[in-house]
Amino acid sequence: MPVDLTNARPLAWDSATLDADTKEMLDNLQPNILRAHVREHLSLLFIRFNDISDGKRFLRTIATRHLKSARKHLEEVRAFGKDGRPGTPYVGIGISKAGYRDLGHSVEDLRRFGDRAFRDGMKRRIAEVNDPAVTEWEAAYQREIHAVVLIGDARPEPVAKLRKEILGQLPGTARVLGEETGAGMRNPAGDGIEHFGYVDGRSQPLFVADEVAKEPRKHWNPAFPLGNVLVADPFAPDANRHFGSYFVFRKLEQDVRAFKEIERDLADALGLTGADRDRAGAMLVGRFKDGTPITEKARAGGGPVGNDFTFDADTGDKCPFSGHIRKTNPRFDSIRNVLMARRGQTYGERADRPWDDAPPETRPSGGVGLLFMAFNSSLENQFEFTQRDWADNADFLNPGTGHDPVIGQGVRDIKVAFPKVWGRPEQSAPQAQVAQTVTMRGGEYFFMPSLAYLRGL
């Protein structure tokens, strides 16, 4: 039975009745696509090969020695849940269009990648998503990157060890053009946060039955078909059974000080007092810092961060139409195919505590941010569509409601209003949109091929 990419029934990956094709798919799929791999510590190596056979040998060696399959990962997660046995580190490989070309695939061959954005590469897509000119990107990303190797684990030591080993296997003809180090941050409740201090990574399309089973789903169904992230691997031995995923990487620097000033100024402008001042930032993000969706007023007594909500009953009097999570997932049925699997990680060190109420002056204004990463079945219709048609579009959802205040790019030249009181229709006087505090520093589009392809190189 061919692998069913369209069915939203969650994948019962360990079922005795699982068909042979899906089993083969799981044995050849890279981990971290269908289910997030732990990557509290993460190293990314951006590589350029200058010799075809050396490049192939390197990728084949890494794949054979260090890459586990999606199935092995799912088994490890289960074992960890049962008796706390830690799994093995994550190693992932992505290849850019330039990488495939220089590994010997002809331009004609590359057309077998259905995704136009991937075939162009990120540098040729800057106009699509209002990105800064390539000359403003960090030097490493201005170069032509062939491949990215990701190494992740819960602890730093295994990452350091593997990084050294992998670099040791790099042929003399290849170069590491750039390197990023991600390190997860958690708030006192133990939830993963990003640098503005908000819980992140909570809402995801889920594919695997074990994960879906844990989620309440009265309002929002988190189960998605495999087709949201998987496509046939065009160069694998058997494209019907060997799959891969398009991977977007973007280094997004965050000016935390400016964002905190904006939160303070917005609270002042709206006359918010006491605990209600937190609503200023929450209206920009769509969730409070502790992850509570702003469609709910407060999370009673802690507990897990909820995701079982929609905006159906909210006409913009709780979450503004521009709120980051409303822009990037307005939660109605016809947009479900746009949602990608986000696998980002924070980078940069800081001495302050992102979740507390320390004054803006004590916050970093650079050097920290998000290594935004996401798996897509179409970069054009998912990542780029989200950035351009939603985040950068002041009229998305409702005319004149503004850019996404967190990630929107482009000129923010219209005035916007905010609900003065939570859940009440009265709007503030129109005011300038908040300034842009997230800056793209470079990135690339990759394809994460099947293990069958990599091992056969």
Sorted by sequence, the CB contacts under 8 Å of residue 80 that are 6+ apart come out as 86, 87
Q: Which residue from 30, 387, 409, 433 is in contact with ligand HEM, where contact means CB under 6 A?
A: 387
Q: What letter does residue 302 receive in the DSSP assignment?
A: S
Decide: 252 and 369 in contact? Cβ < 8 Å: yes
**Shortest Å, Cβ 96 to ligand HEM:** 19
Nearer to ligand HEM, 280 or 454 (CB): 280
Strand bridging mode 41-48 / 175-183: antiparallel
* Among 22, 254, 377, 393, interactor with ligand HEM by CB under 6 A: 254
Nearer to ligand HEM, 30 or 387 (CB): 387
The DSSP annotation for 7-31 comes to: --S-B-TT-TT--HHHHHHHHHSPT
233 vs 384, which CB is nearer to ligand HEM? 384
Q: What secondary structure does DSSP assign to 181-202, as a single string? A: EEE-EE-TTS-EE-TTS-B-S-
The two structure tokens encoding residue 296? 């709910």
Tokens read off for 373: 């990463």
Question: Applying CB under 6 A, which of residues 159, 407, 434, 448 lies at the interface with ligand HEM?
Answer: 407
Closest separation in Å from C-beta 346 to ligand HEM: 9
| CB environment 48-78: b (16+ within 10 A), e (fewer) | bbeeeeebbebbebbbeebbbbbbebbebbe
Q: Which residue has the tokens 């054979």?
A: 64
Nearer to ligand HEM, 174 or 199 (CB): 199
Contact call for residue 203 and ligand HEM (CB under 6 A): yes
Specify the stretch interacting with ligand HEM by CB under 6 A; choose among 12-20, 21-29, 70-78, 192-200.
192-200
- CB neighbourhood size of 267 (10 A): 18
Site string for ligand HEM, 287-306 (x = CB under 6 A): x-------------------
Q: Report yes or no: 76 and 88 within 8 Å, Cβ to Cβ.
A: yes
311 and 271 in contact (C-beta within 8 Å)? no
**Of the candidates 39, 9, 419, the residue with the CA atom closest to the CA atom of residue 212:** 9
If the CB atoms of residues 119 and 324 are measured against ligand HEM, the closer one turns out to be: 324
Query: Which among 82-90, 133-141, 198-206, 410-418 is the span making contact with ligand HEM, rule CB under 6 A?
Result: 198-206
For the packed helices 156-168 and 52-66, what is the interaxial angle rounded to 10 degrees?
Answer: 150
User: At its nearest, how many Å lie between ligand HEM and the CB of residue 340?
Assistant: 7
Residue with Cβ nearer ligand HEM (71 or 260): 260
Q: Which is nearer to ligand HEM, 59 or 391 (CB)?
A: 391
Interface segment toward ligand HEM; rule CB under 6 A; list 10-18, 77-85, 105-113, 195-203: 195-203
Q: What are phi and psi of 191, to 5 degrees?
A: -85, 145
Q: What is the helix (H) or strand (E) element at residue 416, kind and residue range?
A: strand 415-416
Reduced to 3 states (helix: H, G, I; strand: E, B; else coil), residue 157 is helix
115 touches 378 (CB < 8 A):
yes
Amino acid making up residue 117: A
Least distance (Å) between residue 442 CB and ligand HEM: 14
- For helices 278-285 and 256-269, give the axis angle rounded to 10 degrees: 120
Output the smallest distance, CB 386 to ligand HEM, in A.
4
Q: Smallest distance from the beta carbon of 291 to ligand HEM, in angstroms?
A: 7
Q: How far is the CB of 314 from ligand HEM (least distance, A)?
A: 13
Selected binder of ligand HEM within 24, 102, 200, 255 (CB under 6 A): 200
- In this chain, which of 67, 325, 416, 457 binds ligand HEM, going by CB under 6 A? 325
Q: Does 198 bind ligand HEM (CB under 6 A)?
A: yes
The smaller minimum CB distance to ligand HEM, of residues 76 and 404, is found at: 404
| Residue burial 223-238, b: 16+ Cβ < 10 Å; e: rest | bbbbbbbbbbbbbbee
Q: Is 194 in the site for ligand HEM (CB under 6 A)?
A: yes
Q: Does 445 bind ligand HEM (CB under 6 A)?
A: no
Among 187, 245, 329, 436, binds ligand HEM (CB under 6 A): 329
Q: Does 90 bind ligand HEM (CB under 6 A)?
A: no
Query: How many residues of this chain interact with ligand HEM, rule: CB under 6 A?
Result: 27
Q: Which residues bind ligand HEM (CB under 6 A)?
A: 194, 196, 198-203, 252, 254, 285, 287, 324-325, 328-329, 342, 369-370, 372, 383, 386-387, 391, 406-407, 438
